[in-house]
Amino acid sequence: MPARSLALLAAAAVLLAAAAPAGAQAPLPGERIVAGVSAAGVDLSGLTIDEAAQQLTSAYGPRLSEGVLVRVADINFKLSAKRANARFDALKTAKRAFYAGRAAVGVAPAPGASAAGTEVPLAVEYSKKAVRRFVGRIDKRLSRAAVDARLKITTRRVRIAHSRRGRDIDAKALGDQIAASLVDPRLPRAFKPALVIVKPVVTADKLPATVITIARSSFKLRLFKNLRLVKTYRVAVGQPAYPTPRGRFSIASKQVNPTWSVPNSPWAGELAGSSVAGGSAANPLKARWMGIANGVGIHGTGQDYSIGTRASHGCIRMHVRDVIALFARVPIGTPVLIS
């Protein structure tokens, strides 16, 4: 026998051994696949391994070389079999069928023995990474995050930036469907995944109805209800050495006749670090307190002459009658813009 033919036979023997279960006996001369064995629906009963491989190649080779099409939102996305690195091994599949049939009826089956109902999967490999990249590209192209509604606040105006619905696809489900189709030619290779609507968490109806803005330069506190300016108050703000902080805050606490926890600071004198009861003459926090952040808040003052000046140690002072009126109209959580 020519050396080339011997080499081919040796190579075939190696492949067959690799496909066989551990310890399995090699095919006997003339041994065929047992009746009742199929692969992905193709009946391989009575065929040799080579004949079964040829039949599987004829039945599914062209189909398994096709790519995958995903159509969504009128956009086509294609994944070729080459890009998916999909490879169909018909010979390995035939060997699976051979050994599965033998396992069902034995090495030397009785005449007419059948392994009816024995089904083996096709030996198909593909790149899971390529499928993930493909689905990720679709997801990135189509997905759009939902946008929450928010308040756009300036010193003199409050507006709503309305929410917007987002959309998404079930990327995991699509990836699973594509993977299944690559290994089973009976499954469709064209998909139309549904676009899932993603609802925003915050819509306009959930936004605060009340807003406060404070303009330090003009010493004005403005109260807005349902986007409309309803009242403007004159206030005092922090001294240059103790400025009222700028930024966006919210009303974090509310108290009637609040206790004054005196800051441990030189300007507090002998009261530093102590507490002064609400309503006391020594307590500068008159009538009401609306805490904002870091010890800064809105409160009434007994020094009416200071309104319209930079007089406090960071807090916003109001006339007592004004702070009582404001207190009743402002819930905890109210946004506060200080500019």
Q: Catalytic amino acids?
A: 299, 315
Structural contact between residues 124 and 183, judged by C-beta atoms closer than 8 angstroms = yes
Q: Rounded to whole angstroms, how far apart are CA atoms 134 and 83?
A: 9
Structural contact between residues 251 and 214, judged by C-beta atoms closer than 8 angstroms = no
Q: At 180, phi and psi to the nearest 5?
A: -65, -40
Collapse the DSSP code of 62 into the 3-class scheme (helix H, G, I; strand E, B; otherwise coil) and give the result. helix
Q: For 107-262, list the strands marked E by DSSP.
A: 114-120, 124-125, 150-153, 158-161, 166-168, 190-191, 196-198, 210-215, 220-225, 228-234, 237-238, 247-250, 253-256, 260-261
Is 268 buried (19+), middle (13-18) or exposed (0-12) by CB count in 10 A?
A: middle
| Identity of residue 206 | K
Q: For 14-168, list the strands marked E by DSSP.
A: 35-39, 42-43, 68-72, 75-79, 87-88, 114-120, 124-125, 150-153, 158-161, 166-168
Orientation of helix 171-183 relative to helix 128-142, angle to 10°: 140
Report DSSP state, residue 143: -
